[in-house]
Amino acid sequence: MSSVSSTSNTGSAQLSTNQFLQLLVAQLQNQDPLNPVNPQDFVTQLATLNSVEGLNSLNTSFSQMLQLQQLTQGASLIGKTVNYTPTNGSPTTGTVSAVTAQNGQFVLTVGSNQVTLSQIQSLS
């Protein structure tokens, strides 16, 4: 199931494909029989739904590609010496021994520390 996302200044809302179709059916069931929905408007709504589903699929593919790129970057650092700044400390140097994924972010193991890619200052 895909979702349609919409963000405004007051917050965000998500509408699933099934919810969209339920709203569309309700609209058709409750329309004025003497003034039905214009067929062009109906086709436009269906085309919009199809476009949104395509964009959601593209976003999913892009996210997967980004994760693969991060994994590749992290894997290329195994065995290398990195200079990094921990969130609660001073700049430190160590050798990368492993790469793991935690909460959708790749984390390097440097000694006994867990280091994100954004914390790395230099590579030697």
pLDDT in tens, 18-44: 787 788 788 878 877 777 778 888 788
The pLDDT assigned to 98 comes to 92
Alpha carbon 23 to chain centroid, angstroms? 26
**Chosen CATH of 77-124 out of 3.10.20, 1.10.3470, 2.30.30, 1.25.40:** 2.30.30
The domain spans of the chain are 13-67, 77-124
Residue 55 to residue 63: CA distance in whole angstroms: 12
Model confidence pLDDT, tens digit, residues 83-95: 999 888 889 999 9
Model confidence pLDDT, tens digit, residues 97-118: 998 888 878 889 999 889 888 8
Inform me whether the pLDDT recorded for 8 exceeds 60: no
* DSSP alpha helix (H) spans, 6-123: 17-29, 39-76
